[in-house]
Structure 1
């Protein structure tokens, strides 16, 4: 009985550094993911610099939507079902903003219909 307690204590002490290392590397992986997201966003925004007018506006909204989606995925990866639901909502909002921006290139009934379609598609 005493040997069993000693063995359990020894295993717990020996495995502690492993758990600390795993927790640290998981945090480092998240930082790397955040850095990658930021780099991809910066590259996408630079791509938009050569554009003008509504094309530039749409390009920037798409870059922001992609960034928001990637951040939402990263957030969902570390949390519960509630976080995954929040991530889905954030993606839907970002995609709605892109669709609405695309409607700005239109006018009159076509624009009204475009906005109505976007609202229907993204639940607004």
Structure 2
């Protein structure tokens, strides 16, 4: 019986530590700030390389520099916040950045070719955004399913306790609550 309580205590403690979201530590904030600074510095360097170009190649170069900065910032923010919403936002920001680059590349074309190029770029962006949103919904559904399963397991464990009486029942209920964090 003591082994059971020890196991339940260890399981509950492990679950408690695993379910808490990591707080924004000073190290994480410093890493995030360093990533932002690095992205800004990389943008300035890439943007400076674009100054020697003219016309559409310059426009493409500038958009690529902006996209790289936007991508780096989005990734840094997603890692810093470490949430599903932040990761989804980062994927959407990357899709938008890729679209801006593709649209700039289409600027060199004329007529129907340009229209087709822009429509194809928009289709790729739309698909990437839809995929990001779908991934978020799938992750949320999996989380909800885990919670529902856990609740059902808790209810079943409580039902097992109802067969007992007195102190044994109270002990069973208490250990079940500890095990499931209720």
Normalising by structure 2, what TM-score? 0.54
Distance 1:36 1:115 in 2: 31
Q: Larger C-alpha radius of gyration, 1 or 2?
A: 2
Distance 1:99 1:32 in 2: 29
- How many residues end up aligned between the 2 structures? 103
| Structure 1: gaps (5+ residues) | 1-21
Give RMSD over aligned pairs.
1.5
The one of 57, 60, 68 aligned to 1:58: 60
Say which structure, 1 or 2, has more relative contact order (CA 8 Å, 6+ apart). 2
| Structure 2: gaps (5+ residues) | 1-23, 128-182
Deviation of 1:32 after TM superposition, in Å, equals 1.4
The one of 111, 114, 131 aligned to 1:111: 114
Partners of 2:67 and 2:94 within 8 A in 1: yes
> For each residue in 1:26-78, what CA deviation from the matched residue of structure 2 results, as whole angstroms up to 9, or x when unmatched?
22222211111111111000110110111101100000001000000001002
Moved over 2 A (4+): 22-26
Distance 2:64 2:106 in 1: 14
Normalising by structure 1, what TM-score? 0.78
